[in-house]
Chains A and B, each alone.
Chain A
Amino acid sequence: MQHSKTQDTLVGLFVATGIAALFYMALQISNLGSYSSNDTYTIIANFQNSGGLKIKSPVSIAGVRIGRVSSITLDKETHESVVEMQIDSKYNNLPDDSGASIYTAGLLGEQYISIDPGPGISGDFLKDKSKIDNVSSAIILEEMIGKFMLNKAEGK
């Protein structure tokens, strides 16, 4: 069987380029490069309406992303939407009286949760499985238009 050193080298180069392409995809194209650590803790918020929020929607403070939504379920008794968020553990100093609201990025953009840090009167911070009490629901465009129309009609 004829077999040469050049062939070995070329195969080696080929495999190396392929693996380099995989790394390139992982680091340059995907979000893997932006994960500093996988350590997270979970906080919970009950919303009356979570609107178009989805799993993996961003959670941010002052526009900086600090975590993602990890699950959205319905509380069977209160009929509220229970949203669990995974927050990067390096942001472990959120006051426990912080508020959470659902906003929309742009007019038609995706929805995200914005955390408004509270004054921190008690001095405690949000821990794993803590619940945020001060919440405001998603703004539903149809609802707003409906209310606006109703007001107009009543005004006349």
Chain B
Amino acid sequence: MFEFLENLGKATRSSFAKLGRSTLFLGHTLTGIGDVIPRPNLLIKQIYSVGVLSFLIITISGLFVGMVLGLQGFYTLSDFGAEESLGVMVAASLVRELGPVVSALLFAGRAGSALTAEIGLMKATEQLSGMEMMAVDPVKRIISPRFLAGFISTPLLAALFSAVGVMGGHLVGVGMLGVDDGAFWAQMQANIDFQEDIINGVIKSIVFGFVVSWIALFEGYDAIPTAEGVSRATTRTVVNSAFSILGLDFILTALMFGDI
């Protein structure tokens, strides 16, 4: 009984300690961003590894998600004779939800896990302590550029995902199932609002990019510097990112679209 209470207390204390560490870490990272701007090469290299290399998986998934939406939407809507609304359905679900959420999940799996493993391994091989020895702040030199790169890349990837998805939906709906081309676009344009839908979708993806980059980098930086510790940290990155993306998505959706 006492052992149970002891463990409970320990677990609570350590989770609060972790929360505190991650907040301090975020503050440190954000102050380091100012030092990244005079050295854009660091940033470009990270945008390459985080964003450009995720380009393919995002566009291909976007295309297929759009095509599936077109196909499924068509069969449901044709029951009501409302196939012309296919464009609205595909575009609204992509721009509002699937674009930001799925691209952030893919980003966490493709880029977030790589970031954690990279930083964790740097810590395990004592490269980070080495930098400190040379009076180079590893957070400013290593973490901040990666954070900024993730923060910049996610909204762009989400926009790509949605745009390619709409094209995929058009391909299936208009190209294969014979929905009227004009009605597809006209209904979409009449019902998708720029501020309400597109801007809110972009805000969502910015929030997700911030959170995923933060989680990935912190887990790497906070990893136990052993092979096992790094592997656990990588797993935690993917799991925690997925939880926070989906949880935050609910909160953001309730705030943005709740009163409609």
**Which residue numbers of A lie inside 8 Å of B, CB to CB?**
1, 3, 7-8, 10-11, 13-15, 17-19, 21-22, 24-26, 28-34, 56
Contact = CB atoms under 8 A, between A and B. Distances in A.
B124 to A, nearest CB: 21
A56 B190 CA distance: 11
Contacts of A25: 95, 159, 162-163, 166, 198
B45 interface: yes
B41 A1 contact: yes
A21 B155 CA distance: 10
Contacts of A29: 91, 95, 162-163, 166, 188-189, 192, 198
Which size bracket describes the interface of B in this complex?
A: 20 to 34
Given A29-B198, A31-B189, A7 B159 contact: no
B25 interface: no
A14 B194 contact: no
Could you say which of A15, A25, A28 has the most chain B C-beta atoms within 10 Å of its C-beta?
A25
B44 A8 contact: yes
Nearest to B80: A108
Interface of B: 41, 44-45, 47-48, 51-52, 55, 91, 95, 152-153, 155-157, 159-160, 162-164, 166, 185, 188-194, 197-198, 202
Contacts, number: 87
Given A17-B160, A19-B156, A24-B163, A30 B193 contact: yes
A14 B53 CA distance: 10
29 contacts: A1-B41, A3-B41, A3-B45, A7-B44, A7-B48, A10-B52, A11-B47, A11-B51, A11-B52, A14-B55, A17-B156, A18-B157, A18-B160, A19-B159, A21-B162, A21-B164, A22-B156, A25-B163, A25-B198, A28-B185, A28-B189, A29-B95, A30-B192, A30-B193, A30-B194, A32-B194, A33-B189, A34-B189, A34-B190
B41 A26 contact: no
A86 to B, nearest CB: 14
A25 to B, nearest CB: 5
A18 B159 contact: yes
B159 A1 contact: no
* Residue among A15, A18, A34 with most chain B CB within 10 A: A18
Contacts of A19: 156, 159
Contacts of B192: 29-31
